[in-house]
Amino acid sequence: MKLPIFYPAGELPQLFNVEGIPATFIFDENGGIIHQQIGSTNFDTNEFLTLLNK
């Protein structure tokens, strides 16, 4: 995968201006967002396993 790299000292895309930390973004193979999670969560669930296996 070729993904852009952003540094905290630089200008971030609007997508990454989030209201909370941690923030998790899951992208598909084309670079599109398939999931955005603001705050902590349990990623060890069947829901996330299904999402990642699409």
Nearest-angstrom CA–CA distance, 27 and 7:
18
13 found inside a domain:
no
Total count of domains within the chain? 1
Q: Which domain holds residue 38?
A: 20-52
Residue 3: inside a domain:
no
Give the range among 1-5, 20-24, 33-37, 44-48 with minimum mean pLDDT: 1-5
Look at the block and give the residue holding tokens 């905290």.
8
In which region does residue 12 sit, left (phi positive, over 0), alpha (psi from -120 to 50) or beta (all else)? beta
pLDDT in tens, 3-29: 777 777 777 778 777 888 888 999 888
In a domain, 41, yes or no: yes
In a domain, 38, yes or no: yes
Band of pLDDT at residue 54, cut at 50, 70 and 90: confident
Full-model pTM = 0.67
Of residues 47 and 18, the one with the higher pLDDT is 47
Indicate whether 44 belongs to any domain: yes
Question: If DSSP codes are grouped into helix, strand and coil, which group holds residue 51?
Answer: helix
The chain-wide mean pLDDT, for the chain, equals 84
CA distances from 40 to 9, 21, 24, 52 (A): 24, 8, 9, 18
